[in-house]
């Protein structure tokens, strides 16, 4: 989005963190990335860190970002969360510089950490809910990444007309199916061969529930299926997942782990895949997610498997672009998955529908235009409700 704003003639300063534990940076480092002035603050962070250490990192960055933000010139402040603590430097910078604030909600905080039990202290829960409302009600507009997140923001009493919906987008050029890249990816892993391949990429956190694939893989073994799983990522649950895969007899039998890959390696992976997945544990708060992996799969023209309800579930059902398996047992999912992954007519049809969905509603260029209109509207103090500029209706 920032690159596209630069292309439209805007000057963009991005205040962010340098999370690498091995980085030698101390304090702030500035670079220019595709015309964006990027200000990096060294804040070691990893999903494998405990909750207390992660919260400490959030507040460390929030304080540093405030001091940096007030030194920068601009016409508008845009802040994107998670974590919700980003509201601290965003709101204070907005007030100190008397600039309008647009706040983006990428996850429903504090609902999510409360739902998974990461935030239990009654005082901290109350403080987090206060921070959430403080962020919204000090913003001229809120951008939600899904219709479900919009509903979550509205539950705080924030006006609907001031909430736009702009999900994570599909990079339809970069992720277009590439047969040669897919063949090369498979050739580097002899265990795939010509077998159907199911992929997961992303964090191995509690909320992701990646163990779901282990249970399905175990059921597929019972069926004698040749389906293979490739699970790529890292996080706090990694060791547990490996131990569980070994316990169920699927580790490097029909389910394989690999380390995280960069964004520019993703198109080859998805070109090699037969089907992609988007997983979360079965909590109402998790169903509003807007994970990149979902939109990457659509752009690559790959059917996608979901194990959760919510707006993505409704999209997959309505557009017939994958398998909506919410509420089904691992045994039933395995039977359906084995059948569909050997049905070339279904794979072709679902893949085409996935790509069509990406082009119709989620092309990042189109979403960036909506985003730019919202920022311009707020900067110019226009009366058009931002909910009209990006309503989040996909039918």
293-331 pLDDT tens trace: 999 999 999 999 999 999 999 999 999 999 999 999 999
- Paired tokens of 281: 């544990």
**With 90 as the cut, is the pLDDT of residue 181 above it?**
yes
Asked if residue 55 belongs to a domain, the reply is yes
**Dihedral through CA 38, CA 39, CA 43, CA 45, nearest 10?**
-20
Per DSSP, what are the bridge partners of residue 73? none
Domain extent, residue 164, equals 2-169+363-389
Distance CA 120, CA 367 (A): 37
Same domain, 121 and 149: yes
**What percentage of the chain reaches a pLDDT higher than 90?**
84
Alpha-carbon torsion (137, 125, 20, 67), positive or negative = positive
Question: What is the H or E stretch that residue 234 is in?
Answer: strand 228-234
| Of 47 and 27, more confident | 27
Distance CA 349, CA 301 (A): 10
Distance CA 216, CA 340 (A): 14
Same domain, 349 and 221: yes
Backbone angles phi, psi at 340, to 5 degrees: -70, -35
DSSP string, 273-301: -SEEEE---S-GGGGG---HHHHHHHHTT
Can you give the pTM of this predicted structure?
A: 0.91
Query: 136: pLDDT confidence band, cut at 50, 70 and 90?
Result: very high
| Residue 61, CA atoms < 13 Å, CB-side half-sphere | 26
Asked if residue 203 belongs to a domain, the reply is yes
Distance CA 319, CA 342 (A): 20
Stretch 98-111: mean pLDDT, rounded? Answer: 92
Same domain, 146 and 207: no
Same domain, 126 and 72: yes
- Give the model's pLDDT for residue 23: 57
- Paired tokens of 79: 């802040």
Q: State the burial class of residue 180 (Cβ atoms within 10 Å of its Cβ: 0-12, 13-18, 19+).
A: exposed
Asked if residue 395 belongs to a domain, the reply is no
- Give the model's pLDDT for residue 179: 96
Q: Calculate the average pLDDT of the chain.
A: 94
Same domain, 125 and 215: no
Distance CA 17, CA 28 (A): 9
Same domain, 255 and 151: no
Closest CA relative to residue 269, chosen from 355, 348, 349, 183: 183
Asked if residue 174 belongs to a domain, the reply is no
- Give the model's pLDDT for residue 117: 79
Same domain, 196 and 240: yes
Query: 21: pLDDT confidence band, cut at 50, 70 and 90?
Result: low
Per DSSP, what are the bridge partners of residue 39? 15, 30
Same domain, 162 and 193: no
The backbone region for 373, taken as left when phi is positive above 0, alpha when psi lies in -120 to 50, beta otherwise, is alpha
Same domain, 229 and 346: yes
Stretch 328-337: mean pLDDT, rounded? Answer: 98
Residue 343 is given by DSSP the state: -
Q: Is residue 25 helix, strand or coil? A: coil
Distance CA 151, CA 129 (A): 16
Q: Each residue of 198-241: pLDDT tens digit?
A: 999 999 998 999 999 999 999 999 999 999 999 999 998 999 99
Distance CA 334, CA 328 (A): 10
Q: Each residue of 264-288: pLDDT tens digit?
A: 999 999 999 999 999 999 999 899 9
Q: Is residue 181 helix, strand or coil? A: helix
Query: 114: pLDDT confidence band, cut at 50, 70 and 90?
Result: confident
Same domain, 384 and 331: no
Asked if residue 57 belongs to a domain, the reply is yes
Distance CA 70, CA 343 (A): 58
Contacts of 118 (CB under 8 A, 6+ apart): 51, 206
Q: Is residue 304 helix, strand or coil? A: strand
DSSP E strands, the chain: 13-18, 28-33, 36-42, 77-81, 101-105, 141-144, 163-165, 197-203, 228-234, 255-258, 275-278, 304-306, 322-324
- Give the model's pLDDT for residue 171: 96
CATH number of the domain to which 79 belongs: 3.40.50.2000
Query: 368: pLDDT confidence band, cut at 50, 70 and 90?
Result: very high
| Pair type for strands 36-42 and 28-33 | antiparallel
Query: 50: pLDDT confidence band, cut at 50, 70 and 90?
Result: confident
- Give the model's pLDDT for residue 24: 59
Same domain, 156 and 246: no
Domains in the chain, number: 2
Asked if residue 39 belongs to a domain, the reply is yes
Asked if residue 227 belongs to a domain, the reply is yes
Asked if residue 394 belongs to a domain, the reply is no
**With 90 as the cut, is the pLDDT of residue 115 above it?**
no
Distance CA 355, CA 22 (A): 39
Same domain, 375 and 300: no
Contacts of 316 (CB under 8 A, 6+ apart): 304, 306, 322, 323, 324
Q: Each residue of 152-165: pLDDT tens digit?
A: 999 999 999 999 99
- Give the model's pLDDT for residue 19: 81
By the 8 A CB rule, do 287 and 310 touch?
yes
**With 90 as the cut, is the pLDDT of residue 48 above it?**
no
Query: 83: pLDDT confidence band, cut at 50, 70 and 90?
Result: confident
């Amino acid at each position: 989005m920032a690159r596209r704003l630069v292309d439209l003639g805007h000057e963009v300063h991005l205040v962010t963190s340098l999370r690498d534990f091995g980085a030698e940076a101390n304090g702030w480092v500035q670079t220019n990335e595709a015309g964006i002035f990027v200000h990096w603050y060294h804040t070691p962070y990893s999903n494998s860190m405990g909750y207390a250490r992660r919260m400490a990192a959030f507040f460390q960055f929030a304080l540093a970002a405030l001091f940096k933000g007030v030194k920068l010139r601009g016409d508008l402040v845009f802040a994107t969360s998670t974590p919700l603590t980003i509201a601290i430097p965003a709101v204070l910078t907005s007030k100190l510089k008397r600039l309008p604030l647009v706040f983006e909600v990428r996850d429903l905080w504090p609902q999510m950490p409360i739902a998974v039990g990461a935030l239990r202290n009654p005082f901290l829960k109350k403080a987090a809910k206060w921070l959430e409302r403080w962020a919204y009600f000090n913003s001229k507009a809120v951008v939600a990444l899904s219709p479900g997140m919009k509903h979550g923001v509205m539950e705080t009493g924030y006006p609907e007309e001031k909430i736009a919906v702009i999900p994570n987008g599909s990079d339809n050029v970069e992720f277009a199916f590439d047969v040669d890249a897919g063949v090369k990816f498979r050739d580097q892993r002899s265990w795939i061969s010509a077998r159907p391949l199911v992929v997961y990429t992303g964090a191995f956190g509690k909320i992701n529930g990646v163990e779901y694939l282990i249970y399905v893989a175990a059921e597929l073994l019972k069926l004698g299926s040749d389906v293979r799983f490739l699970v790529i990522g890292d996080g706090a649950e990694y060791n547990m997942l490996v131990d569980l895969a070994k316990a169920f007899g699927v580790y490097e039998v029909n389910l394989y782990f690999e380390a995280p890959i960069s964004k520019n390696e993703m198109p080859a992976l998805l070109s090699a895949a037969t089907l992609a997945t988007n997983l979360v544990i079965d909590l109402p708060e998790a169903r509003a997610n807007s994970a990149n992996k979902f939109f990457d799969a659509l752009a690559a023209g790959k059917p996608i498997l979901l194990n959760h309800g919510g707006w993505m579930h409704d999209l997959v059902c309505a557009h017939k672009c994958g398998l909506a398996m919410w509420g089904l047992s691992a045994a039933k999912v395995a039977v359906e998955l084995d059948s569909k992954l050997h049905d070339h007519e279904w794979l072709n049809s679902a893949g085409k529908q996935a790509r069509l969905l990406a082009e119709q509603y989620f092309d990042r260029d189109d979403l960036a235009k909506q985003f730019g209109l919202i920022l311009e509207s707020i900067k110019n103090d226009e009366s058009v409700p931002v909910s009209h500029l990006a309503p989040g209706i996909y039918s």
